[in-house]
Amino acid sequence: MQRHEINPHQVTFPRAIQPYIVNSRIFDSSSSPQARVYYADHSPDRSYFIKTAAAQSLCREAAWTTYFHARNLAPDVLYYGTIGGRDWLVTARIPGEDCTSPQYMADPDRLVPLLAHRLRALHETDYSNCPETTRMERYVQTVQHGYRNGRCDRALYTTWYGEATDDEIYRIARDGWPRLRADVLLHGDYCLPNVILDDWKFSGFVDLDCAGIGDRHVDVYWALWTLQFNLHTNDYRSLFIREYGADLVDEEMLRIVAAMEVFG
């Protein structure tokens, strides 16, 4: 995760956030135009991530991070609220760095099995009393909305499955989404920057706004995508699937998910 130190006076932090930034160095670690993320480095045992975005846009992330934290899978949510028309979310920093750190990227033969085993463990986690159970319904609605409004990223499908038109890809998604299951706890965006390791020991997940109860192939798809994107090779696809459990992975479902993600 990249962090660029900034002058704290460059940002108008509301009063509720002040306790988390006082006497701290402030860094901008944003990676998305939809949200700003700041890192408040107070001391080794008192550091925080502060995220702000449009009102109500962080409520799911706050709820699911709290849920994952209760299962020792994510940082603690210290504050969530809407102030001045914007959401503010403060989480404690957990030990370690994300999987794009040079330490981990330099050893993919060790990293890939670890990511596969960690995902399998997540998918075997009890998801009783979860915040909501409509993740797959919303997933389908997002795909329908994206297609109707011409929002697509065709490369999410064509990189692996060859050239196709938007209409052809949408038909694959539409014909396939009735096969989606809702039987595992998903991260929803299982990519290297969202998995934190502390010297190769799992520390926690971050960016859980896409979490929910859904089909394991959503997470498996994004795991395979991030390995190709971040490692610049598709050579680790088979290793990941084998270590995760090849008997649980349906290649046709991966193709369906790829088609859906084009419009997601």
Catalytic one of 87, 98, 189, 250: 189
**Each residue's pLDDT tens digit, 36-47:** 999 998 877 789
CA pair distance 236, 242, nearest whole angstrom: 10
Task: Tell me if residue 189 is catalytic.
Answer: yes
Q: Where are the domains of the chain?
A: 4-92, 97-262
| Topology match between the domains 4-92 and 97-262 | no
Structure tokens at 256: 């369906």
Question: In the predicted model, is pLDDT for residue 61 greater than 70?
Answer: yes
CA pair distance 114, 65, nearest whole angstrom: 22
Average pLDDT over residues 56-77: 97
Question: In the predicted model, is pLDDT for residue 114 greater than 90?
Answer: yes
The CB density around residue 224, as the number of other CB atoms within 10 Å, is 22
Write the single-letter amino acid at 236.
Answer: Y
Which run of H or of E encompasses 28? strand 25-28
**Each residue's pLDDT tens digit, 126-164:** 999 999 899 999 999 999 999 999 999 999 999 999 999
* Known binding-site positions for Mg(2+): 194, 207
Whole-prediction pTM: 0.94
* Known binding-site positions: 194, 207
Helix, strand, coil percentages (3-state) for the chain, rounded to 5, are 45, 20, 35
Mean pLDDT of the chain: 95
> Spelled out in words, what is the top-level CATH class assigned to the domain 4-92?
alpha beta
Angle at 100 between CA 99 and CA 102, to 5 degrees: 105
Question: In the predicted model, is pLDDT for residue 29 greater than 90?
Answer: no
CATH number for the domain formed by residue range(s) 97-262:
3.90.1200.10
